[in-house]
Structure 1
Amino acid sequence: MEMNQYLSMFIDESKDHLQAINENMLSLESSPEDISIVQNIFRSAHTLKGMSATMGFEDIASLTHEMENVLDLVRNHKLKMDSFIFDCLFKSLDSLETMVEDIIQGGTGKADVTAVVAALKTIVSGDYLKASSGGAAEAAASSAVQGGPAELDEFQLSIIEQSIEAGIPVFWVEVSVRPDCVLKAARAYMVFNVLEQNGEVIKSLPSVEDIEQEKFDQKFSVYYISQVDKDQLAAQVSSVSEIDRVDIVALDHETLAARLQSAAAPAAGTAQAAAQAAAQAEVAAASAAEPVKAVEKKPAASGGPVAGRTIRVDIERLDTLMNLFSELLIDRVRLEQLASEIRKNDLTETVEHMARVSSDLQNIVLKLRMVPVDTVFNRFPRMIRDVSKNLDKKVDLIITGAETEMDRTVVDEIGDPLVHLLRNAVDHGLEPTADRIAAGKPETGTIHLRAYHSGNHVFIEIEDNGRGINRDKVLDKAIQNNVVTKEQASRLSDNEVYSLLFASGFSTADKISDISGRGVGLDVVKTKIESLGGRVQVESTYGVGSKWTVQLPLTLSIISAMLVRLKNEKYAIPLSSIVETAAVKAEQVRSVHGNRMVNYRNSVIPLVSLAELFDVPGQEDNGTEDTQIVVIRKGEKLAALVVDEFIGQQEIVLKTLGKYLTNLFATSGATILGDGQVALIIDTNALIK
């Protein structure tokens, strides 16, 4: 039990330190000379090393120790940051995150990190500079001079060189599948699975994306680092079905150089072509190294960091606190009723004081579950950096409103939908650099990620200054996929056309990439957000950009509601869906095709009797001639609900109806009122089709 408690603390603190390293690494990439940032990264790595060593996670401890050695040289001005060191530290960080995630899933936190540890060691020794300037690097350089693209980039080449230097086995593996193989990609996937269990794939030829899409003939090859014996490796790969042949070559400096020269030879060309290729490579490298800027508009801190101001509390404990407090509220109302009957001054004063204290306590309890959305937002700058580098685009991510608070349960769920929308904005929204320059736009694209409160909702906006959505292309695809008919398409407004993007399996991508555009995603995004009681919509101007807006409830556990009476029972209607309350006269109600309708602000909307709909027992209330109505909204559609009496507005604690009462029509839960009665909460969205 005690060990589990420590493990939980280790996981929580490790995630915090990894996130801190991530954020500081991005800052350092923008300001490589700022030693104070290096100090912060060093402290996080040092703490993580100590914690993991104490818990017995040796692989994490050894990797963070090697990172410390590199950072120590940098902070003492003995080493200057360069693109190779940044890539190596980011790769180390990815390995640490993988190992911590393995521990979270119940694993041992072990991983083969020999290659990246070897790379860090050669940075400390300074050998990485020699490795990049000699041996196979010369072969790669000479292949570029001859006009052929190098098989390995600078980082991959250095990793391999350093592994050979450190005595770690490096292999070139060529795998041939049988000519009659039907599912080549599936067999290749199984081969990669075998390889990744025993070592690290440094480079795949062709790329993993091409292999996934079966864009290869009968062969593919990889540069591979592993401690496994060559014959054992060949046997394991050969055991995969429909593999025809496996050739494995153990690489040293000479065989690596020969391998790279032979790969470059077929592509050799003229000196002029080589010069052009070198120039293009230089531009590409410069743009790839361009760091993504993450700008967050925050008030400036007046002093240094404040430590020890927060504690972690399990969400279940907060749920228990919420339930206990709702019981306390019931007793408070009963005490107030008793005090009014007994009429003793001392008792009345005591109950009034208790009422004031419990009101303050209620506000604190409601706020305890609220957390700022920056717990989700803070992982996006690194993600955008990696995606933009992968797509060779320059991107500024500007974050505002990260301090906006939401219920913890909502915050935990919105991460994945936002990841997809942001990746979509970089991949499909922002044009390639050449297209942006041709269109007269700045070569660096901008993505704004905003969060703000409005009423009982939080709005999150993702806005890009990219190409926008091509209305005609969306319509053509929708007609082609039988989402709409040509007749319907001619009547759709722009917003209705853009909403077609959320149809299941809908994609306008000309080219499928591993970033987005696989035809799944936006429908899943919409489903997830709607399951949280929110909605998502998109606005776009072709050639100017797009804005995706996600609307979410402030909280899932406490809502503001209007209490109403239907005959003998009380019900709650969420305020967020109410437009207004009113009393209508009998002459305003009319019948259209057998349905009751009511005049409302120059339009006619349906009239729904809740008492009849829910079959509420009791006598009809004919006390007044006027009909009391609650006008509700779902999107652009309105309806009027008939009630017998308005009781008043109240903050209510939303409780589920348990596993026995599921799929009840138009009911989203229940709440316990001050007098101990249970009131059902009406799901107004279910009442409007």
Structure 2
Amino acid sequence: MDELIEQFAIEARELIQQASEDLMALEANPRARESLESAFRAIHTLKGSVGLFDFGPMAGILHQAEDLLSQARAGKIVVDAALIDPILAIIEWVDDSIDGISQTGGLPEAQEKQATRLLGILNGAVTARDNDAPADAPAAIPDWALSLHQLMSASGAAGQMIAIRYEPHPECFFSGDDPLATISSLPDLRHLTVSLKEPQPLPEKFDPFRCGLLIEAVSGTSLAEAEAVFRLIPDQVKLFVLTVAADKRAGIAPEPASGRSPERQSTTMRVDSTRIDKLVEIAGELVTAKNSLVPLSEEARNHGNGPLAKRILSSHHEIERLVASLYGAVTQARMIPLENTFRRFPRLVRDTSARIGKAVDLVIEGETVEADREIVENLFEPLLHLVRNGLDHGLEPEDDRLKLSKPKRGRLLLRARQRGDQIEIEVADDGRGMDPQRVRAAAVDRGILSESQASTLSETDILQLVFAPGFSTAASISELSGRGVGLDAVHTSVKRLGGTVELQSVPGLGTSFFLKLPISFSMTQLMIVEVGGERYGVPITAIVETHKLPLSAIQSVRAGRAFVLRDRTIPLLHLGELLQVAAPNSQSGDLKVLIVRAGQEDIGVAVDAIAERAETLTRPLAGLLQGVAGIAGTTLLGDGRVLLVLNMEELL
């Protein structure tokens, strides 16, 4: 791909996302001046970038959209759905075009055919504005207030303020007015400029009894308090409410490429993700090389060279510290905020809820939580299924909600939290919830389990059936659901990322899905175990605890075995049987048992021996071994041997 086209695609996606967010903020608050200005800048910059290439009618369409926003800035048209909808349609069209542009270097034919329709939508919006000529269109921000707004932005101030333009009457002194005393009585005065309304007269023509001042000021007080100060001279004062954003930029070009602050622009740069991945791989190789020093030290000790063994171990500890620091820094470089995924949902929820006729408020929390780039980039698909599930299955239509004494607008929550070395993402709705009996009936009807099996399951277990392949409670197939692949895809995707999905639901109150994922999965803490003369790695995260079990404590339960641990009955399996590599060794002593969590249940897995712990870089299986059940990947031990890393949940 051409380097310029590649750069255009990256920046265009950022500008499209920025414009989308600003337009939806305007939809929620049409008087949000900062959002309007930011949307205009994004469209203007995008149009400029498009103008560098030959993308057919794209530049002209963006120019029309820019004109509409320019009229809104000038107060000539009202900011409402009639303005926002066509511009969002344009943005979506440009967004859909980027992949084709990246591949071919030009506007795809399918997108070019849509250009005439989009121009018609924009022209129709302009015509409708001209015909309507609304009388309640908001007044444009005056030039004097705009100057004060820019001045306060440059100073770093933020919040709502009152801009004041005070032109004292020339005869004000004879009325007992003192303009400077009046303006000084304003609470929270943040800026004051005193100038002459007219050029300074010659000394012989100067009249000391006439006031020729022009006073401009900014106060942090309320509009009511400002009006009270000038209540006796309202004809001499103009007041205007300003809203200054905290991150407003100053001292830079008026049309920047993105909404980031100059400080962030000066301290960040784009790096190809493959370069970061290469550094992670090198750091992993260093970990393997570092681990090889331990058996080397043992070999020196076995040959009677204790001092050499001690020096090797000392070097091992120092290299271990440096490698850990290096790996931590490289891993941190791969971390990106969940905002990169979360910010795609407001527009999706807006469009989908309008299409299905439901009023929905999307609440996003914790978007600044960071995780590994690969995890963040692969989260969109499972979250998309959950959000669609909430919109279609979870939230009731407006009339039904009112009958149930619920707010007419449904609430969809997308929240992220960090818990130790994991992130927890919650997708919750305040809709109808899940009826376990309905889920049970649907599972039986679709042949997922028999009636006898369904009757033995608890309500909690029954709800987990929604993740089964082919499961759906929808009576018919719609655009959003009914095919039985949504929640199954969620479970598969999250499992592939090394996470789990949990479901909580209360009929009539709503449903919550909890996705628990590792923050980073490049480096793995392993417990190395021995079975049948072979060594295997078990991720530490899969092990609840280890236990030394006397043979006398093992009891036969039907066709299996179990033991009691702290008043709980734990099923007992042998890792050799699970792997089908060797029969369990007959032992006269105690069994070494790993207590492993499988779903909501703890299971004991016996091994021949527990060797040691190791921190390694696990590589996924490739070639003939790819897709082998129960094997998560491979890694290299310090002595050069290949170690298979087990996926305990799949084995069990």
- Pairwise CA distance, 1:49: 1.9
Match of 1:322 among 277, 280, 287: 280
- Pairwise CA distance, 1:652: 2.4
- Pairwise CA distance, 1:71: 1.9
Could you tell me how far apart the structure 2 residues matched to 1:605 and 1:345 are? 44
Change (3 A) 1:309 1:31: farther
Could you tell me how far apart the structure 2 residues matched to 1:603 and 1:327 are? 43
Change (3 A) 1:680 1:439: same
- Pairwise CA distance, 1:328: 1.7
Match of 1:357 among 319, 322, 335: 322
Could you tell me how far apart the structure 2 residues matched to 1:476 and 1:586 are? 44
Could you tell me how far apart the structure 2 residues matched to 1:526 and 1:617 are? 32
User: Is 1:311 the counterpart of 2:311 in the alignment?
Assistant: no
Could you tell me how far apart the structure 1 residues matched to 2:581 and 2:441 are? 49
User: Amino acid of the residue matched to residue 35 of structure 1?
Assistant: R
User: Is 1:654 the counterpart of 2:612 in the alignment?
Assistant: no
Residue number in structure 2 paired with 1:668: 632
User: Amino acid of the residue matched to residue 400 of structure 2?
Assistant: D
Q: For 1:130-149, what aligned pairs fall within 5 Å after superposition?
A: 130=130
Residue number in structure 2 paired with 1:62: 60
- Pairwise CA distance, 1:635: 0.8
- Pairwise CA distance, 1:321: 1.7
Could you tell me how far apart the structure 1 residues matched to 2:462 and 2:578 are? 35
- Pairwise CA distance, 1:668: 1.3
> Is residue 502–residue 513 contact of structure 2 (8 Å, CA) maintained in 1?
yes
Q: Aligned pair count?
A: 517
Change (3 A) 1:345 1:68: same
Match of 1:634 among 578, 581, 598: 598
User: Is 1:53 the counterpart of 2:18 in the alignment?
Assistant: no
User: Amino acid of the residue matched to residue 329 of structure 1?
Assistant: V
Change (3 A) 1:327 1:509: closer
Match of 1:95 among 93, 96, 109: 93
Could you tell me how far apart the structure 2 residues matched to 1:681 and 1:397 are? 41
User: Amino acid of the residue matched to residue 410 of structure 1?
Assistant: I
Match of 1:681 among 629, 641, 645: 645
The percent identity for this pair of structures is 32
Residue number in structure 1 paired with 2:409: 444
Q: For 1:197-216, what aligned pairs fall within 5 Å after superposition?
A: none
User: Amino acid of the residue matched to residue 40 of structure 1?
Assistant: S
Deviation string 1:477-534 (CA, Å, 9 cap, x unpaired) is 3333333333333333222232233333333234543233344423333333333333
CA RMSD of aligned residues (A): 3.3
Change (3 A) 1:621 1:457: farther
Could you tell me how far apart the structure 2 residues matched to 1:442 and 1:18 are? 32
> Is residue 507–residue 519 contact of structure 1 (8 Å, CA) maintained in 2?
yes
> Is residue 568–residue 616 contact of structure 1 (8 Å, CA) maintained in 2?
no
Match of 1:72 among 52, 58, 70: 70
User: Amino acid of the residue matched to residue 16 of structure 2?
Assistant: L
User: Is 1:129 the counterpart of 2:129 in the alignment?
Assistant: yes
Could you tell me how far apart the structure 2 residues matched to 1:487 and 1:590 are? 28
- Pairwise CA distance, 1:81: 1.5
TM-score (norm 2): 0.71
- Pairwise CA distance, 1:355: 3.9
Uncovered stretches (5+) of structure 2, i.e. residues with no partner: 134-245, 250-259
> Is residue 27–residue 37 contact of structure 1 (8 Å, CA) maintained in 2?
yes
Residue number in structure 2 paired with 1:138: none
Change (3 A) 1:527 1:86: same
> Is residue 9–residue 98 contact of structure 2 (8 Å, CA) maintained in 1?
yes
SS of the equivalent of 1:629 reads: strand
> Is residue 456–residue 576 contact of structure 1 (8 Å, CA) maintained in 2?
no
User: Is 1:531 the counterpart of 2:489 in the alignment?
Assistant: no
- Pairwise CA distance, 1:42: 2.0
Deviation string 1:534-591 (CA, Å, 9 cap, x unpaired) is 3333221111111122233433422332233446543221122211111112222344
Change (3 A) 1:651 1:355: closer
> Is residue 58–residue 115 contact of structure 2 (8 Å, CA) maintained in 1?
no
Could you tell me how far apart the structure 2 residues matched to 1:616 and 1:508 are? 42
- Pairwise CA distance, 1:19: 0.9
Change (3 A) 1:480 1:8: same
Could you tell me how far apart the structure 2 residues matched to 1:609 and 1:520 are? 34
Could you tell me how far apart the structure 1 residues matched to 2:584 and 2:465 are? 47
SS of the equivalent of 1:631 reads: strand
Could you tell me how far apart the structure 1 residues matched to 2:105 and 2:601 are? 51
User: Amino acid of the residue matched to residue 325 of structure 1?
Assistant: A
Could you tell me how far apart the structure 1 residues matched to 2:578 and 2:42 are? 60
Match of 1:115 among 114, 117, 121: 117
> Is residue 502–residue 526 contact of structure 1 (8 Å, CA) maintained in 2?
yes
SS of the equivalent of 1:462 reads: strand
SS of the equivalent of 1:95 reads: helix
Larger radius of gyration: 2
TM-score (norm 1): 0.68
Residue number in structure 2 paired with 1:457: 422
- Pairwise CA distance, 1:121: 4.5
User: Amino acid of the residue matched to residue 67 of structure 1?
Assistant: A
User: Quick check: 546-555 or 562-571, which moved more?
Assistant: 562-571
Q: For 1:569-580, what aligned pairs fall within 5 Å after superposition?
A: 569-580=534-545
User: Quick check: 673-682 or 33-42, which moved more?
Assistant: 673-682
Change (3 A) 1:45 1:537: same
User: Quick check: 606-615 or 413-422, which moved more?
Assistant: 606-615
